[in-house]
Amino acid sequence: MIKNVKFMLISATSLLFLLMPSGLLAKVTESINETASFKDAKYAYKGINEVTLSVADIDKMLVFYTSATGFDVIEQYRVNNEPSFDKLYGKEGLSAKVAILKAPNMQLKLVEFEHNQGSEQLRLPFYQQGITHTCFQSSLAFPSYNSFKEAGAVMLSRGEAPVDLGGCGVTYAYGYDPEGNMIEMEQLADKYLQKVAHDTAVHTTWMTQVAFATPNREKLIGFYADVLGFEPFRLGEYKGNPRMDDIVDWDNVHLKGGWFKIGSSGEVLEVWEFIEPTTKSGLPAATTALGYSFAIEVDDLDAEYSRLKERVEFISEPVLLFGYKSVMARDIDGNVFEMREKRY
């Protein structure tokens, strides 16, 4: 168990299963490739540098996320009658308000499409197919759990504090923002903060992952291994942990997981297939639907588009927009993601 401590800041989420006493977890199967990461990429891949959240009320959500995280708003703008924007999303006549928040290691982009204004989004179950959440990490000394709760997050996890999964110096909780989008909050002990790539006394909250629920872990992981050009560093099947049950407020959780290291500052792509409760197949959402998407940055978008266009569902050809050459796509579950190359 001790040899796995170094994974903590690469993915504290994966430590749900790494550092716990054996009596707390029935591990069915597990395989580890400690060196697999974005550094193995066969292609000109630079990482996932932005999580996008499509919202119904951008003003309300800006107040929530800036209050909870302390992230700076670095850009705000409106989009109207912009052909490249319409082409990117595969829809005509789009109008939107955009705000970009700067986390220490990536960006959080809020987009309010005019046709989504006032829409109500139900709190999606943690096991429902799709991009389920992103994760906000912090130190135990300045817990993001407290700041999110004070900002108005509604907690899914049981109890009045984050869940400790075995005295390893990490606590976890799931909750919902004011529009029902799920968020994860992880708190780390001081001994793990030395591997964080920024000053945690200045930036007390940062982002770490994009998380999926899928009806078929093997297929979705195979898709992203092909797109990214490298393999996941961990695969496993897990059950029998009452404290994990507390995190998601569901008894007897049983799941299969997989994790990719997608950046040098703790970023992780996380894939869950829930067996109990069961993740079932669903219809793909519209490109502008409320909820999460994300951006993969590459060095040469034209080369990646050419490499993948026969086996990836692209919404359009690449377009130039807001300093990037970008294209939107769907994975095999219908989740929307962006590939982009920074141009200026």
Q: Work out the average pLDDT over 282-288.
A: 92
The rounded distance, in Å, linking the Cα atoms of 248 and 180 is 15
- Count of C-beta atoms within a 10 Å radius of residue 92: 8
- Count of C-beta atoms within a 10 Å radius of residue 331: 19
Q: Taking 90 as the threshold, does the pLDDT of residue 267 lie above it?
A: no
- Within a domain: 282: yes
Q: Work out the average pLDDT over 74-97.
A: 97
Task: With cut-offs at 50, 70 and 90, classify the pLDDT of residue 48.
Answer: confident
- Within a domain: 6: no
Using only the alpha carbons of the chain, give its radius of gyration.
19
pLDDT of the residue at 19: 40
Q: Assign residue 72 a region: left if phi > 0, alpha if psi is -120 to 50, beta otherwise?
A: beta
Q: Taking 70 as the threshold, does the pLDDT of residue 13 lie above it?
A: no
Q: Taking 70 as the threshold, does the pLDDT of residue 8 lie above it?
A: no
Q: Work out the average pLDDT over 80-103.
A: 97
Which residue bears the tokens 């919404």? 315
Asked whether 268 and 261 are in contact (CB, 8 A), the reply is yes
Residue 334, Cβ density class (10 Å: 0-12 exposed, 13-18 middle, ≥19 buried): middle
- Within a domain: 5: no
The rounded distance, in Å, linking the Cα atoms of 160 and 218 is 36
pLDDT above 90 coverage of the chain, percent:
71
pLDDT tens-digit map of 149-168: 999 999 999 999 999 977 78
pLDDT of the residue at 196: 72
- Within a domain: 1: no
Q: Taking 90 as the threshold, does the pLDDT of residue 210 lie above it?
A: yes
pLDDT of the residue at 186: 95
Q: Work out the average pLDDT over 60-77.
A: 97
Q: Work out the average pLDDT over 21-39.
A: 61
- The stretches of the chain forming alpha helices (DSSP H) are 58-69, 83-89, 144-151, 190-193, 217-228, 242-248, 301-308
pLDDT tens-digit map of 310-322: 999 999 999 999 9
- Within a domain: 10: no
Task: With cut-offs at 50, 70 and 90, classify the pLDDT of residue 219.
Answer: very high
pLDDT of the residue at 331: 97
Q: What is the pTM of this model?
A: 0.90
The rounded distance, in Å, linking the Cα atoms of 339 and 320 is 12
How many structural domains comprise the chain? 1
- Within a domain: 23: yes
Q: Taking 60 as the threshold, does the pLDDT of residue 21 lie above it?
A: no
Q: Taking 60 as the threshold, does the pLDDT of residue 309 lie above it?
A: yes
- Within a domain: 262: yes
Check residues 285 and 73 and name the one with the higher pLDDT: 73
Q: Work out the average pLDDT over 89-99.
A: 97
Could you list the residue range(s) of the whole structural domain that residue 74 is in? 17-344
The rounded distance, in Å, linking the Cα atoms of 224 and 25 is 28
Mean predicted lDDT score pLDDT of the chain:
88
- Residue 38's CATH number: 3.10.180.10
pLDDT tens-digit map of 234-244: 999 989 989 99
Asked whether 273 and 259 are in contact (CB, 8 A), the reply is no
Task: With cut-offs at 50, 70 and 90, classify the pLDDT of residue 32.
Answer: confident
Q: Work out the average pLDDT over 73-88.
A: 97
- Pick from 32-41, 128-137, 247-256, 321-330: least confident: 32-41
